[in-house]
Amino acid sequence: MHSDYHLKRQSEFSWRIDPFGKMRVPGIIYADEALISDMDDKVFEQLCNVATLPGIVQAAYAMPDAHWGYGFPIGGVAAFDADEGGVVSAGGVGFDISCGVRALRTGLTIDDIESRKTELANALYRQIPVGVGSTGRIHLNDKGMTAMLTGGARWAVEQGYGDPADLEHIEERGCMAGADPGEISARARKRQQDEMGTLGSGNHYLEVQRVAEIYDKKIAAAFGLEENDAVVFIHCGSRGLGHQIGTEFLKYMVLAASSHHIDLPDRELACAPINSELGQAYLGAMRAGINCALANRQIITHLTRQVFADVLPRADLTLLFDVSHNTCKVETHTVEGKKRKLFVHRKGATRAFGPGHPDIPETLRAVGQPVLIGGSMGTESHILAGSRQGEELSFNSACHGAGRAMSRRQATRQWKGRSVVDELGARGIVIRSPSMRGVAEEAPGAYKDVRAVVDAAEQAGLAHKVARVEPRVCVKG
């Protein structure tokens, strides 16, 4: 099993690749034996490559949902110390900067929704633009764009999209500090000027779900969840702006690598020293991209509330939490007994602070940060809580979803969109999408078993299972 990488089993749910060649630290993978066996060799190759980067601290990590990505594996986590020549990598953040998930409580049970779910699906589909190149009703001029890139979800709330109380339940309280809109190109601004409040395409979706099972009643109560509650998951990111930032800075980093004396094992790992001019420019742009994603999910939340107010007036949509997946954030972590300021890259991985962490909202601090694990279209999703041991295991990081088991092209060869919609409809799940090809690409069978991924994350100690939710309505690109 992946013998070329001398994989050693540390425990039932933890595996290690000792440093070899130019690796500065080991590679650590959290997974059970079945998940490890199914991982593409490219995951291990990319993890070993990440471990060669300057200034990396402790280990390069892969989460249970890890699969082949651009430079870093998706599901990859790595932390760097700027004072030791550490780098920031655009490939270690990803193209869809701050792609993430937010969960909303509705104040309703699934029984309140079941007879209206087709009407609800149609109304959500009309109100929230989806699909490749989708545009919304909001047009931002250059001044408005700069304000949004600076303010994130706080800007959105100030514009009337949502409630100030929402901000307490968003990472960074809705606004990523250190954003530099001056580093956002005219091309990136143009791509985003009409895309605010849109879901986009790919695996992005809005789902109305039923809380099907509670694993931990105490934490679920703190999260305001009970069995048969109706909840909403919104999964989307920074749209065209984030992609443009990634595209441009990857090019800049490749061109500058030799001048920074960085020997790249793979050009897709293009990076720059954190303390360099290029590194600081990317961080300013990336943080602006995070604010774009936070504002986007905030606007979609407002649109969703409008739909529920029309279709189900008794609903009261309150924000449980909003998590980001593709980021690099400055955090303080204890390494070998010493507190260090580190630049933690999470690509297709979720921040998962444990109980007591000061960055968790006060109402949730005693039980840990909500960790939202989105399933694939038509399959269950999960709500977890950060664990105390996550600090030493993975810099407080956990998985982010099911992880693809096959490419989109392979999926379209195996499934037809219309048949997928019909099959899910027979199970009582209403799908709305502008693209049957997109539905085929995101067929449930194209992904790993999300329950196996979540079980592995819990057994490894990365996070604690709280609840399982099942979709009843899905609007996707």
Tokens of 147: 């304000």
pLDDT, tens digit, for every residue of 61-108? 999 999 999 999 999 999 999 999 999 999 999 999 999 999 999 999
- Model confidence at 2: pLDDT above 70: no
Q: How far apart are CA 251 and CA 256, in angstroms?
A: 9
pLDDT of residue 23: 97
3-state SS, 386-416, equals ECCCHHHHHCCEECCECCECCCHHHHHHHCC
Residue 337 burial (CB count, 10 A): 5
Instruction: Give me the chain's average pLDDT, please.
Output: 96
Does this model's pTM top 0.95?
A: yes
Mean pLDDT computed over 380-398: 97
> CB–CB of 402/442 below 8 Å?
no
Amino acid at 474: C
Q: Please check if 376 is assigned to a binding site.
A: yes
pLDDT, tens digit, for every residue of 167-203? 999 999 999 999 999 999 999 999 999 999 999 988 8
For the chain, percent of residues with pLDDT exceeding 70:
99
Q: Please check if 205 is assigned to a binding site.
A: yes
Can you say how many angstroms the Cα of residue 31 is from the centroid of all Cα atoms in its chain?
A: 19
- Model confidence at 404: pLDDT above 90: no
Cα maximum dimension of the chain: 63
pLDDT, tens digit, for every residue of 292-304? 999 999 999 999 9
> CB–CB of 224/169 below 8 Å?
no
Q: Please check if 100 is assigned to a binding site.
A: no
Mean pLDDT computed over 133-139: 89
pLDDT, tens digit, for every residue of 270-288? 999 999 999 999 999 999 9
Q: Please check if 401 is assigned to a binding site.
A: yes
pLDDT of residue 133: 82
Instruction: Report the residue count for the chain.
Output: 477
What residues are paired with 203 via a beta bridge? none
Q: Please check if 235 is assigned to a binding site.
A: yes
**Does residue 400 carry a catalytic annotation?**
yes
pLDDT of residue 1: 58
- Rounded to the nearest 10°, the torsion over CA 138, 142, 147, 153 is 30
Check 67, 382, 400, 464 and give the catalytic one. 400
Q: Please check if 325 is assigned to a binding site.
A: yes
Mean pLDDT computed over 29-33: 97
pLDDT, tens digit, for every residue of 292-343? 999 999 999 999 999 999 999 999 999 999 999 999 999 999 999 999 999 9
Residue 320 burial (CB count, 10 A): 20
Q: Where are the domains of the chain?
A: 8-137+194-277+303-405+447-476
Q: Please check if 312 is assigned to a binding site.
A: no
Mean pLDDT computed over 457-461: 98
Q: How far apart are CA 176 and CA 284, in angstroms?
A: 10
pLDDT of residue 83: 97
Q: Please check if 139 is assigned to a binding site.
A: no
Tokens of 373: 């694990």
Q: Which CATH class is domain 8-137+194-277+303-405+447-476?
A: alpha beta
